[in-house]
Chains A and B, each alone.
Chain A
Amino acid sequence: MDLVVKNGRIVDPSQKLDRVADILIRDGLIRTIGDGAFADVPVFDATGLIVAPGFFDIHVHLREPGTEEAETIATGGSAAVAGGFTAVAAMPNTNPPNDNPSITYYILSEARRSSPARVFPIGAITKEQKGEVLAEIGEMFEAGIAGISDDGKPVMNAQLFRLALEYAQMFDMPVIQHCEDLNLSKGGVMHEGIYSTRLGLKGIPAAAEETMVSRDITLTHMTHGKYHVAHLSTRGAVEIVREAKARGLRVSAEVTPHHFTLTDAAVADYDTNAKMNPPLRSADDVAAVVEAIKDGTIDAIASDHAPHHINLKMLEFDRAPFGITGLETAVGLALTKLQLPITRLVELLSINPQKIMKVKSWGLFEGSAADLTILDLKRSWTFDVHRSRSRSRNSPFHGWQLKGKAVATIVGGKVVYEDRA
């Protein structure tokens, strides 16, 4: 089970690495990084390619258990490696939700059995994600969760959220919030603004996100907790997080590719693949998010991969569920749209996600798990949703021409995905 990844440009900002070198993998671990021939070892020729520590998508929905017609751990894991991700963090809104160790064990054992990508479950903050009492956070931690979140059901009760921020410190896990004041957003199906008014659709104001980010940061300051903002989407939220970081609070934030790529104008034809939560925001919000990615206010890019069966997306806009798939388009969109230095991109997709979640870190160093993402920055390609490995087809990016792609994904020393030109 040896492999040499040869002659690639190896980029790992956590090791301050950016040079052309060979990586020798043995028994699933990185054995040596250097130059020169390794006799009798199979070679993966990475000439002209970027070799990075495995990308980690910290916000995905694998739908298993409970909604296997939309996605399974196997199909979601397969989509992940096809998108260049060696690892994903799975949100707990399964059915039943991941609010106790038996579900955590199930997800992990199914992932070991069927997923080419590593899967780190996220546990629920509260039992049944109901926002009433804390779930068995410690028991789930022992079983293997990497963070806690009630995901699409934000914890509206401030006292309960305070307790979660305090309790999670026993395990050094992040408390991840989908920031949405449910009173302000009630009934909303898209961003509140000119387009929602023109289209006659009920809006979700930016303030629904910002009031909760603001409240949570006050509680983070009070508790010294470790707080992570999921899929941040508004200028106001960017500013609140920026200010909190300046004060030295343990706050991190992620953004999705659709929130730095599309605006609420995409809803104009009542396309249900433009319906997600948080909704696509205004052009001004998109500009603020892009700036925040560049200046470091935003720590990570995460897809919020949310597969839905086509039957549900064929409904009227008001009735269709929120969410789009994203695992296979995230890296291509980031490379195409953001024009970042490659070191910054690796931070956003690998280094920082590892720091945010409670995981044993990996990278381009001896002894690390041999989880690698290999990129071809020059590859032009077109996303074809009908060839997606996800079980669902709800993507607004079908037919998009992108430049830059993950062309190979290595997990534990094994090439689990390869797409050489």
Chain B
Amino acid sequence: MLKRKDLLGVQDLGREEILEILDTAESFHEVSTRNIKKVPTLRGKTVINLFFEASTRTRTSFEIAGKRLSADVVNISSSTSSVSKGETLIDTAKTLDAMAADCVVIRHFASGAPHTLAKLTKASIVNGGDGAHEHPTQALLDAYTIRHRKGRLNDLKIAIIGDVAHSRVARSNIHLLTKFGSHVWLCAAPTLMPPGIEKIVCENGELLHISHSMDEAVEGADVVMMLRVQFERMSESFFPSVREYFRYYGLTTVRAERAMPDVIIMHPGPMNRGVEIATEVADGPYSVILDQVSAGVAVRMAVLYLLLGG
């Protein structure tokens, strides 16, 4: 069991806690392979998915995870709740708390929204992605996938490429992978590389590398993690055109060949095919993109269990 009420980010998770989540996820993974995909572990618990941003895979993944553990799962999206009537986030959360929810999974466009909630609710808060801050369960499922394929989380070269500035996935992965002693190469155009990114981890800062050259970042990489270009967060011209973006930061078969022969290609989804990743790479033999999705269910089962079980 985790000795914490909430899962708000990877930054303040210890290595032991991360390993506990991953190990638990291993054992839950098997549940999804059964004919009857359900265990009674969280029977009588209520999990609310409170989503203020469009999401298909994360919301569905949490919903399936909760249901496979026999929890009652309720989905609320901003268009169907009182939020559209002008209710504040805080009142929405207090209302859900008053209904004795055990866990609220929140996805919000504002960084820090889960932290604001966590201070006010008795329910456990799980960050399902907040602004450009963190997306801890994504990093955990990425770690699960990497560990499964590579057998370890240390001493790897991991290239994270694309829209780092707007990416919560990048931030959570940076924290997690450097905690375990892997080299993380961040690669983006200078306009998409946020200031001070090289200093955001509190320890093992020397493992974080910055490059504007995709060839350099991919060279000898064990893992290439592509980031989605987040057009919806871009109010300015961070790059001249999609064509030019793909020229410098699109993952093509030719570029992928610079990586290790057993490289795995990852993407948190949803993909912009032809923008950050070529279709033949996304669907190619090194791609583990769908493995990430199935790992997501197991990891979220583990997170819900470790916060709510017992």
Contacts and interface: CB of A to CB of B under 8 A. Distances in A.
Interface of A: 186-187, 192-203, 205, 269-270, 311, 314-319
Contacts of B235: 186-187
A129 B42 CA distance: 58
Interface stretch (B61-69, B126-134, B141-149, B261-269): B126-134
Contact of B134 (A200, A314, A315): A200
A202 B113 CA distance: 15
A192 B195 CA distance: 7
Interface size range on B against A = 20 to 34
Given A186-B235, A314-B90, A316-B116, A197 B111 contact: no
B11 interface: yes
A301 to B, nearest CB: 29
Interface of B: 11, 88-90, 108-113, 115-116, 130-134, 168, 171, 194-197, 199-200, 235-236
B195 A193 contact: yes
Contacts of A316: 89, 108, 110, 112-113, 116
A198 B90 contact: no
A319 B108 CA distance: 12
Contact of A200 (B171, B199, B236): B171
A201 B108 CA distance: 13
Nearest to B11: A198
A197 B166 CA distance: 10
Nearest to A193: B196
A274 to B, nearest CB: 11
Interface of B is mostly: loop
Given A200-B171, A314-B88, A194 B196 contact: yes
Given A314-B90, A315-B88, A318-B131, A199 B112 contact: yes
A99 to B, nearest CB: 30
Most buried by B among A193, A194, A197, A205: A197
A203 B112 CA distance: 15
A200 B133 contact: yes
Nearest to B164: A197
A200 B132 contact: yes
Contacts of A200: 111-112, 130-134, 168, 171
Given A192-B195, A200-B131, A200-B134, A315 B171 contact: no
Contacts of A205: 195
A366 B199 CA distance: 59
Given A198-B171, A199-B133, A200-B168, A317 B112 contact: yes
A181 B194 CA distance: 19
Contacts of B133: 199-201
A201 B197 contact: no
Contacts of A194: 195-196, 199-200
